[in-house]
Structure 1
Amino acid sequence: MSVAIETTAATGTSRRPTITDTTLLQQSLIMVKRNLIHTKRMPEMLSDVTIQPIMFVLLFAYVFGASISPAPGYGYKEWLLPGIMAQTITFASFVVATGITADLDKGIIDRFRSLPIARSSVLIGRSLAGLLHSSIGIGVMALTGLAIGWRIHTNVGKAIAAFALILLWGFAMVWFGILVGSLMRSVEGVNGVMFSTMFPITFLANTFAPTANMPTWLRVTAEWNPISSLTQAMRELWGNGPNATASSQWPLQHSVIMTIVWSLALAALIAPFALRAYNRRTAN
């Protein structure tokens, strides 16, 4: 709902506010705009999707690139970009979690509850803003990759499909962010939980190094990691790496479909717990 307050010039008094019905989509977009305005006023909030992606691409490409050979016929720089993009979109959960915890801690959510709006619009707006935030990082990485030699060698359809998989995985990670943000009582707590979970998960995969030379138990764990499926799918769709071998675990041999399955399954599993935690937190 939107409210317009009219003031009578002669008396200086305000008339009864005029309330206009708005849809859930309109309310959600207003919440997205609110979060983007915060970013505009504090541009340092973009450092994690501007400076950090460039730093990661350059460090890994030139420091590790000289010592890692991913596969015959493929350079490390092109092989690396999908892995870093997978890590970046996974961190969308970090942005959502810290945002929700900060709003809860400052009492902003209580103010939203007093307004004639759908409660879900707050979560939808925060989620969309988090995906937009992380998408900036994906764009910055793509531009940086192009500057150092990364290219997409397939057709437009496959290129778009890979970016769609990134957003789908980001959607699942948003629910994890909502869950953590609703459970934690401070931004510091969110930082501790997210760093201790997200970093190991993103590194225990095929994101930065091939799994072929890992010990058997570690290789199996890494190849069943959903982030490995996403990374492998992007490499195949963009032509940045070879198809999975017969010795690879099943998720890598069917990386595209498994990325879709992992994303939808995790979202379906985490969403009920996230909503319950959020409702419980905002009910107090």
Structure 2
Amino acid sequence: MTPLTALPAPAIPKSRIASLRWIVADAGVLLRRNLVHWTRKPFVLVYSLFWPIMVVLIFGFIFGSAMKVPGGGDYRQFLMPGLFGQTMLFGAVTTLTIVTNDVARGVTDRFRSMPMSSAAVVLGRNFADMFHSAVELFLLVLCGLAIGWRWHHGPAQALAAFGLLLLLRFSLIWVGIYMGLLVPQEAAGAAFIPLYPISLLANTFVSPSQMPVWLRVIAEWNPLSATVGACGRLFGNPGRAGGSWPAHHSLLLAIAWPLLIIVVFMPLSVRRWRNLGG
């Protein structure tokens, strides 16, 4: 009786490697397409980058003079994590608007008729939006540093906080893609309407502890509050410690909420893409 020998691990078929290269190459082409569009429409890019600067100045120096931070501290230190989170949230409108424009102009139909992987179309949109969001976040960080905001727990925790912000943005890209494939072009401009209360009914500008009880519960369980609260604690900024369960476990929720959004909206986006025009 001969002893059994371990079989070698099966090699990955070359067709899968070729397919992956095809998807990545197509996604790279679409990323370049989106970047070229930004260079040809500099006003749109400048406006989207100027908005965070204006918000920092308005809330940091105008409204901030009347704000109090629970436990004491500089309001601008409290404010910046909230503005980081709000910018990531509003990025969903950018995704939605671009997707609806592509659908209305027939660009999406052309993509569907070309020998191009459907995964590459969505991946290219993700690459472009994540790049744009990273630039926005970088500019907003520079604005915060200019007005005196700092992180106090070292670069590792600061990078972890920025990673949580980009994770939230990545999850919201799928929301924007799904809604962009669902709503007509004329309705895209109204996407800010539901996002404003979501961004305000959170811990972005004031602590939920200063709200009425019924509003406090909603604000504390807002997914945006989880990311903002976790980032504020990682940065070491004041006013983010809270006694409630969501505030105490903000880091856990800052990971769980985006993952849940991805699990829900990624398959919805793929299914809507496949059934588009059907």
Report the residue type matching 2:153 in the other structure.
T
Other-structure match for 1:198: 195
Q: Deviations over 1:158-210 (max 9, x none)?
A: 01100110111111101110111000121x31121x11221110111010111
Other-structure match for 1:4: none
Other-structure match for 1:164: 163
Between 1 and 2, higher relative CO (CA 8 Å, sep ≥ 6) is seen in 2
The counterpart of 2:229, out of the listed 228, 232, 236, is: 232
Secondary structure of the 1:269 match is helix
Contact map agreement 1:32 1:126 (CA 8 A) in 2: yes
RMSD: 1.6
Take 1:258 and 1:171, find their aligned partners in 2: how far apart are those partners? 16
CA drift of 1:243 comes to 4.7
Other-structure match for 2:275: 280
Secondary structure of the 1:69 match is coil
Report the residue type matching 1:190 in the other structure.
A
Take 1:49 and 1:241, find their aligned partners in 2: how far apart are those partners? 28
Alignment of 1:108 onto 2:97: no
Contact map agreement 2:93 2:176 (CA 8 A) in 1: yes
Identical counterparts, % of pairs: 37
Q: Deviations over 1:112-159 (max 9, x none)?
A: 223221011111111221122122221111111111101111111101
CA drift of 1:61 comes to 0.5
Other-structure match for 1:149: 148
Report the residue type matching 2:241 in the other structure.
A
CA drift of 1:86 comes to 0.2
Take 1:239 and 1:206, find their aligned partners in 2: how far apart are those partners? 15
Alignment of 1:265 onto 2:260: yes
1:52-63 to 2 correspondence within 5 Å?
Answer: 52-63=51-62
Q: Deviations over 1:21-40 (max 9, x none)?
A: 85211211111111011001
CA drift of 1:240 comes to 1.1
Take 2:68 and 2:159, find their aligned partners in 1: how far apart are those partners? 27
Contact map agreement 1:49 1:134 (CA 8 A) in 2: no
Task: Say if 1:243 and 1:62 are closer, same or farther in 2 by CA, change over 3 A.
Answer: closer
Secondary structure of the 2:261 match is helix
Other-structure match for 1:78: 77
Take 2:242 and 2:228, find their aligned partners in 1: how far apart are those partners? 15
Contact map agreement 2:242 2:248 (CA 8 A) in 1: yes
Contact map agreement 2:207 2:240 (CA 8 A) in 1: no
Contact map agreement 1:244 1:252 (CA 8 A) in 2: yes
Contact map agreement 1:131 1:171 (CA 8 A) in 2: yes
Take 1:155 and 1:52, find their aligned partners in 2: how far apart are those partners? 28
Q: TM-score, normalised by structure 1?
A: 0.87
Contact map agreement 1:92 1:131 (CA 8 A) in 2: no
CA drift of 1:73 comes to 4.1
Q: TM-score, normalised by structure 2?
A: 0.89
Contact map agreement 2:227 2:254 (CA 8 A) in 1: yes
Q: Deviations over 1:81-120 (max 9, x none)?
A: 1101101011221111111111111111222223221011
Take 2:72 and 2:211, find their aligned partners in 1: how far apart are those partners? 21
Consecutive unaligned residues in structure 2, runs of 5 or more: 1-17
Report the residue type matching 1:98 in the other structure.
T
Consecutive unaligned residues in structure 1, runs of 5 or more: 1-19
Take 1:259 and 1:106, find their aligned partners in 2: how far apart are those partners? 37
Aligned residues: 260
Take 1:223 and 1:176, find their aligned partners in 2: how far apart are those partners? 21
Contact map agreement 2:174 2:266 (CA 8 A) in 1: yes
Report the residue type matching 2:263 in the other structure.
A
Contact map agreement 2:78 2:239 (CA 8 A) in 1: no
Contact map agreement 2:78 2:238 (CA 8 A) in 1: yes
Task: Say if 1:266 and 1:31 are closer, same or farther in 2 by CA, change over 3 A.
Answer: same
